[in-house]
Amino acid sequence: MMLLGLVLHSAIFTTTYAPIDNAAQEQVLYLIYDFIHTFRMPAFFLISGFFAAVLFEKYGAAGLISNRLKRILLPLLIFWPVVTLMFQLVFEFQKNGSVQPVAQEYAEFYHLWFLSYLIYLNFFMIVIAKSIKPIFTKEIKLLKSKLIQLIFFALLVLGLAIIPNTLDEDGAIKIASQITPDIYMLGFYLIFFGFGWLCFYNSTLISNFTQFWYLFLVVGLIGYFGHLATSEQLDFDYRLVYFGAAISLSLAFLGLAMRLITSHSAIVSYFAQSSYWIYIVHLPIVLLALALLDNFQLSLLARFALVLIFTVVATTASYHLVVRAKPIGRLLGEPVLK
């Protein structure tokens, strides 16, 4: 999900900063961005909730808090100023070019906002788990029933739909990058985080969306195309359809990944370990790539492809040279290589 951020940001910033020479290609890039945006962060927070429960079960509340402070809060405090400086260097490099900062009315964490939300969500779930132990620290036998699972899924969608102010004007999930957390978005992502937490204690949920990933994919695609057709309405029915798509697509791609990745792969392992660093530094690299291509006459799709390739190569190289098996890698949770 982190690596998909490179695709998403390369697409949307290409349309933002590149000269628009083809409306159809601009629409293609927006659809790439919009489709990934629908499920990427919901799936990410679902996975995060699952592994938070793993740490809670193994080390208790104190161990979970200690781990999250070292692996999430400390990297945020260290790399947020570094990334901000990188942005300013790119903007200075492109002083008279098209890649210019967007006017802002608030301080923000940029693309690192999710780290601050993870801190809040971990603390909230510790309080919830300790307060409602029978639900969040043990298997719920009722969830073994397919009918109860359907009802549970419907309640999740309903819970998401009743939270106000979680959509932007285009009917997509709102981006909450401000330093001050958005209380509505915290509640929104807490549902996904809590769902992931429950999945750890209720393995039948995981086995079912792994087994029936294709059904979730069909439901998700139907909901997504419904969002494209009616995004200007933003009524309650629309919210039900769109958030149903967000959950369904999250489960579909996670289930498919678990079916495909059934044994150790050196490549998968490498990018799993590098994805944290790659995501942290990638956005200034995306803007740098756009700045370097500013004076070239390229189609939008060609520009997008070159920006994405440049970003993947540059961030992966920086990981291999600066981070892998180095102190920064250990800070980001990379296992010690022997």
**Paired residues of 108 in beta bridges:** 178
Q: How far apart are CA 69 and CA 75, in angstroms?
A: 9
Mean pLDDT of the chain: 92
Mean per-residue pLDDT, 232-245: 89
What end-to-end distance do the CA atoms of the chain give, in Å?
A: 27
Give the angle subtended at the CA of 270 by the CAs of 264 and 275, to the nearest 5°: 125
SS3 of 145, please? coil
At a CB cut-off of 8 Å and minimum separation 6, what does 241 contact?
223, 226, 227, 230
* pLDDT for the residue 337: 47
Q: Which of 55-59, 107-111, 308-312 is least confident?
A: 107-111
**pLDDT digit string, tens, across residues 72-111:** 999 999 999 999 999 999 988 888 788 888 766 568 999 9
- Minimal CA–CA distance to 67: which of 80, 46, 48? 48
Structure tokens at 314: 């540059």
Each residue's pLDDT tens digit, 179-191:
999 999 999 999 9
- Helix extents (H) in the chain: 4-17, 23-68, 74-93, 113-131, 133-136, 146-162, 183-201, 203-211, 213-230, 236-260, 266-292, 300-318, 327-331
**Interval 312-321 mean pLDDT:** 96
Using a CB cutoff of 8 Å and minimum separation of 24, what contacts does 142-146 make? 143/198, 143/202, 143/204, 143/205, 144/204, 146/208
Per-residue pLDDT band at 209 (split at 50, 70, 90): confident
pLDDT at 269 over 50: yes
Q: What is the pLDDT of residues 125-138, one digit of tens each?
A: 999 999 999 999 99
Rounded to the nearest 5°, which phi and psi values hold at 57? Answer: -65, -35
Check residue 103 and give its pLDDT.
67
**Residue 338: what pLDDT?**
42
The single-letter DSSP state of residue 334 is P
- For the stretch 15-42, pLDDT in tens is 988 877 788 999 999 999 999 999 999 9
Two tokens at 232? 């200007």
State the pLDDT at residue 278. 97
The helix/strand/coil state of 173 is strand
pLDDT for residue 334 is more than 70: yes
Decide: helix, strand or coil at residue 167. Answer: strand
Judge contact between 8 and 33, C-beta under 8 A. Answer: yes
Provide the sign of the torsion angle of the four alpha carbons 284, 288, 289, 291, taken in this order: positive
Which residue shows structure tokens 């961005």? 33
**pLDDT tens sequence across 280-299:** 999 999 999 999 998 888 99
Alpha-carbon span 247 to 59, nearest angstrom: 29
What contacts 158, CB < 8 A, 6 or more positions away?
240
Q: What is the pLDDT of residues 42-52, one digit of tens each?
A: 999 999 999 99
Provide the token pair at 25.
């290609």
Residue 173, pLDDT above cutoff 80: yes
Amino acid 105: pLDDT: 59
Q: Does residue 244 register a pLDDT over 50?
A: yes
